[in-house]
Amino acid sequence: MIYKSICAIKGVTAYGIKEGKFGLALIRASGTAAGVFTENLVKAAPIELMRRQIKAGKLEAVIANSGCANAYTGKRGYEDAVTMTEYAGSALGVDDTSVGVASTGVIGRYLDLSLIRHQCADVAPKLKSSPDAEDRTVHAIMTTDTCPKHALVKNESFTIGAIAKGSGMIAPNMGTMLSFIYTDAQIEAKQLKGALKRAAQRTFNRVVVDGDTSTNDIALCTATGEAGKVNEKEFAVALEACCRSLAQQIAADGEGASKLLEVTVRGAPKEAAAAKVARVVIESPLVKTAVYGEDPNWGRIVAAAGRAGVKFDPNAVSLWISDGNNQYPLVKSGEIIADLTRAKAAMHGNKVIFVLDLGAGNEEATAWGCDLTEKYVEINGRYTT
């Protein structure tokens, strides 16, 4: 069997069901756990619950539903999130306070608990470890996603596998829309939390599809410990690589997207400054529409960088464009040197890369996004109707 993500981890079983717009996934795995959550002031009920429960540093299982976000639902919504953990706990024979919960879908609607209870009872007996189980699990949590998102990173001494969903309302300020990460590494909850936070900062937090931070963003990581103790630095690098893969997949699958947009900012005074500039460029509607129209408008790139709040000399800036195979200069130390024909040719494919050197330091960072098309408006113009 060829595993693509979470079921490659010993001790993980999973399954999911999708009925129209409404899906439910269960994942069972016991171990130390950590999470990162949305920083949107309006937090969904599952986020409020998990911010409390994750403090124990351990999870036995995860239940996630799609179709209803259970966000902006007040006291009833919180109680419904607790009820979801009780359903999963009862069905799987684990303590409900050690069950992770997540939701995604329409904001401002109440959960259909009778449906969730029915789906939970249907899914629980089917949990298994197989490629099919991975696929069914990730499909169960998809909403406007056009494809499932899996990631698998193998080290000599441990493995990390993860799934995610995310396509629209993507400008995370913590993690991604929904992401469930598993590893057989043995690592303490405190160290796991630090590694996950750093990984999210460098990957999920650098994805922008439309500039909207969701109410439901959550990334949970569980370490089963089956592989024994690991080198913490090696683990941190592998976890970041796993999260980066998911981040790029989310960006490429942005609602209505036809092109993946990658922006690397170099020559910044600090990594945080480079990341800030890269995110501002990535989220610019003018840049995104230019990419869609295959218009190598270098002026829009530089202009967006200039409003990021990072000091640099515009006359020292250099800029390149690439399709991933060939790279062409557009600006060199403030002088326009673009070959328009080659620059346009670099935008014909499904991936467009800009490399921007600020000439103001030695740090760099990369962010990912996508173009902005008419399809995005079609998808979101009638999202609830």
- Please identify every residue annotated as catalytic: 176
Radius of gyration of the chain (CA): 21
Burial label, 67 (beta-carbon count in 10 A; 0-12, 13-18, 19+):
buried
> How far is CA 303 from its chain centroid?
27
How far is the C-alpha of 134 from the C-alpha of 343, rounded, in Å? 40
56 within 8 A of 153, measured Cβ to Cβ? no
Residue 315's nearest CA partner among 299, 335, 297 is 335
The strand pairing partners of 179, in sequence order, are 164, 219
DSSP assignment, residue 98? Answer: G
Q: Which spans in 148-231 are helix H? A: 189-202
Residue 379: both structure tokens together: 């998808």
357 within 8 A of 349, measured Cβ to Cβ? no
Residue 177: both structure tokens together: 């829309």
Residue 209's nearest CA partner among 277, 145, 272, 305 is 145
Q: Does residue 171 sit in helix, strand or coil?
A: coil
26 within 8 A of 134, measured Cβ to Cβ? no
Residue 92: both structure tokens together: 């799987």
Q: Which strand (E) or helix (H) includes residue 272?
A: helix 271-283
How far is the C-alpha of 146 from the C-alpha of 166, rounded, in Å? 10
Residue 334: both structure tokens together: 């403030």
Residue 277's nearest CA partner among 353, 356, 205 is 356
Q: In this structure, which amino acid lies at residue 364?
A: E
